[in-house]
């Protein structure tokens, strides 16, 4: 990241500059923000501050879960999909390293002591955890901005744990279905007032975290419980349809059979 300050003539300057790019020997730099300042009445010059972020010339290395059902295919990790969605939406090139989590290779355990995916290599360091990775990507590659305002970042965040509770439940009267329905209903109501996305009109990081989890919910509960989200939660249904049909989502989603196989141990457990 570098900041360049330019002082153009006041007359020639207009706020229509949306995108600047220039080439250096090894990297392409993209203008990510433009700030116009007017130092005071009577002063002629305005200053233009251009903040730049570099786009990697080599693809970023990402460790992801390998498919359980098909060789050399991406597997069923919603946390990995969240990272891939972020890379796709920021138009960053990446190389997937598919890891068999049932039989973790030596090289993977060396770079991931916890043995978990996703993992990304940034500035020669392997970074684990989708929360940390997506934040690091936002800071390093701010364009297009995807951050969700902090006050909205945890909207819908209890859906995943209540989904798992219901999926694992063997007692129909333990309240786990109702707990999930309560969370889904609260989220549906939120979308009705504030949607179509968590941050209003624009899709953002929180949607890329929740979308893959809702995808798992739909497939796993459909398969193991013959359960589906009630039609009355129409805002939620539209939200899911919209996110699931984004190009970046279609490109990075797990296969249905992998989602089913991935959750089997939890259901049988």
Ligand X SMILES: N[C@@H](CCC(=O)N[C@@H](CS)C(=O)NCC(=O)O)C(=O)O
Q: Point out which residues pair with 36 in neighbouring strands.
A: 48
Shortest distance (Å) from residue 51 CB to ligand X: 28
User: Is the CB of 50 or the CB of 68 nearer to ligand X?
Assistant: 68
Q: Which is nearer to ligand X, 90 or 216 (CB)?
A: 216
Does the footprint of ligand X cover residue 79 (CB under 6 A)? yes
* 31 is a contact residue toward ligand X (CB under 6 A): no
Instruction: Show the binding pattern over residues 109-128: x = contacts ligand X (CB under 6 A), - = does not.
Output: ------xxxx----------
Q: Which of 48, 50, 68, 77 is catalytic?
A: 77
Tell me how far, at minimum, the Cβ of 135 lies from ligand X, in Å: 11
CB of 76: closest distance to ligand X in angstroms? 7
Residue 129 lies near ligand X (rule: CB under 6 A)? yes
Nearer to ligand X, 81 or 176 (CB): 81
Applying CB under 6 A, which of residues 130, 188, 199, 204 lies at the interface with ligand X? 130
Which of residues 80 and 188 has its CB atom nearest to ligand X in the complex? 80
3-state secondary structure the chain: CEEEEECCCCCCCCCCCCCCEEECCCCEEEEEEEEEECCCCCCCCCEEEEEEEEECCCCEEEEEEECCCCCCCECCCHHHHHHHHHHHHCCCCEEEEEECCCCCCHHHHHHCCCCCCCEEEECCEEEECHHHHHHHHHHHCCCCCCCCCHHHCCCCCCHHHHHHHHHHCCCCCCCHHHHHHHHHHHHHHHHHHHCCECEECECCHHHHHHHHHHHHHHHHHHHHHCCCCCCCCHHHHHHHHHHHCCHHHHHHCCCHHHHHHHHHHHHHC
What count of other Cβ atoms lies within 10 Å of the Cβ of residue 266? 12
C-beta closer to ligand X: residue 77 or 180: 77
For residue 57, the minimal CB distance to ligand X (Å) is 26
Residues 54-73 that bind ligand X (CB under 6 A): 65
Determine contact, residues 32/143, Cβ cutoff 8 Å.
yes
Binding status of residue 77 toward ligand X by CB under 6 A = yes
Q: What number of chain residues touch ligand X (CB under 6 A)?
A: 11
> Binding to ligand X by residue 29, rule CB under 6 A?
no
Beta carbons within 8 Å of 58's beta carbon, 6+ residues apart: 93
Active-site residue 22, yes or no?
A: no
Residues with a catalytic annotation lie at 77
Which residues are near ligand X by CB under 6 A?
Answer: 65, 77, 79, 101, 115-118, 129-131
């Amino acid at each position: 990241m570098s900041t360049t300050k330019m002082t153009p003539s006041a007359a020639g300057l207009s706020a229509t500059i949306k995108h600047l790019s220039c080439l250096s020997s090894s990297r392409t730099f993209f203008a990510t923000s433009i700030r116009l300042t007017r130092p005071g009445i009577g002063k002629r010059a305005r200053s233009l501050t251009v903040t730049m972020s570099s786009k990697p010339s080599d693809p970023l290395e990402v460790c992801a879960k390998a498919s359980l059902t098909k060789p050399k295919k991406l597997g069923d990790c919603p946390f990995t999909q969240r990272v891939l969605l972020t890379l796709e939406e920021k138009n960053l090139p990446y190389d997937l390293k598919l890891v068999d989590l049932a039989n973790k290779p030596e090289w993977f355990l060396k770079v991931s002591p916890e043995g978990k995916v996703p993992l990304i290599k940034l500035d020669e360091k392997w970074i684990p955890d989708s929360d940390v990775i997506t934040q690091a990507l936002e800071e390093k590659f701010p364009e297009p901005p995807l951050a969700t305002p902090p006050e909205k970042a945890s909207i819908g965040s209890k859906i995943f744990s209540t989904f798992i509770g219901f999926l694992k439940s063997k007692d129909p009267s333990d309240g786990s279905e109702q707990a999930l329905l309560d969370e889904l209903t609260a989220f549906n109501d939120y979308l009705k007032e504030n949607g179509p996305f968590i941050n209003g009109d624009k899709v953002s990081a929180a949607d890329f975290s929740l979308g893959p989890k809702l995808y798992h919910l739909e497939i796993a509960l459909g398969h193991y419980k013959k359960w589906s989200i009630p039609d009355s939660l129409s805002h939620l249904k539209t939200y899911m349809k919209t996110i699931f049909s984004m190009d970046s989502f279609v490109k990075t989603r797990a296969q249905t059979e992998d989602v089913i196989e991935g959750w089997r141990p939890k259901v049988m457990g």
